[in-house]
Amino acid sequence: MNCYECVQQGRSEVAVAVCYVCGAAVCVDHVRAESKLLRGPASPGKVIRDWPARQLTCPVCRAAEESP
């Protein structure tokens, strides 16, 4: 699969990730990796933990998330 962003610019680059928002495949130059804390499931007698998770997005969805 090729990078969606690169294809739109007339180039072809092998995609290394998939945007979790829109599902577009993006290359290493276009992927935006972000670590986010996800709250783990609370089970009886255990402390709720925040798990560091990874979110991979394309530039478009990253810009949309950062815009107010």
Q: Provide the binding-site residues for Zn ion, judged by CB under 5 A.
A: 3, 5-6, 13, 19, 21-22, 24, 27, 30, 58, 61
Cβ-based nearer residue to Zn ion, 34 or 50: 34
Q: For residue 46, how far is the Cα from the chain centroid?
A: 30
Nearest to 17 by CA among 36, 6, 32: 32
Please, what is the minimum distance in Å from the beta carbon of residue 55 to Zn ion? 11
Q: Considering beta carbons, is residue 5 or 17 the nearer one to Zn ion?
A: 5
Q: Which is nearer to Zn ion, 11 or 49 (CB)?
A: 11
Distance, in Å, from the CA atom of 68 to the CA atom of 66, rounded to the nearest integer, reads: 6
Distance from chain centroid for Cα 38? 14
